[in-house]
Structure 1
Amino acid sequence: MKKLTMLTGIITLSITAASAMADSSTKSVYECKPNGCVLEILSLDRKVIVHQNDISSITINHITDSAVEVTYIQNKQVMYVTTSLLSSNIHVSNGQKLGI
């Protein structure tokens, strides 16, 4: 297990249900830094649903006003997670959101 170190200038982005309701066809793509992004999906009571580091790519597709599909690539494997924005929070660190 790799040790996570604190980095200066880490970008932390949050996606909320309110922003998803504005446009249900929104797609967010994140470009990860050379040492990889960190993806964290937490339930509203702060229980970990997903916590992964060393991710090379993250895409968040808004399926409905409250549901999203998170696709990420880690160790050349594509992983998918579908979650509700009404019951969870998504955080992407060490990455930059692209204007797509």
Structure 2
Amino acid sequence: MGVVLLVSAALLTVAAVLVVVRMTVGPTILDRSMALDVLMSVMVCAVALKSIQREETWSLPMLLVLAMVGFVGAVSIARFASGTEDEEARDDDDAREGEER
């Protein structure tokens, strides 16, 4: 079991280094946001690996929170990068402008 954990930790470290390089080199914001999402996944895997190593279960809620933060962050960046608003938000803005006139 120790060898598997050691190899897994080494692979996660290599993945994290490659992702950080991609975040710094990435020519567009979408490349950087994708790298950030992958880095969040690597962090979740690292916390899970540490939890397995120590045979503890208290970090499982932290894994859930990290996964949710990663998802919300990726969706927020994708929505920001697309440059479009939600149709409901536009309709609300149009309705407010109509009331002001």
Give the TM-score category using the shorter length: under 0.3
Query: Structure 2 length normalisation: TM-score?
Result: 0.25
Larger Rg: 2
Greater strand fraction, Structure 1 or Structure 2: 1
Query: Structure 1 length normalisation: TM-score?
Result: 0.25
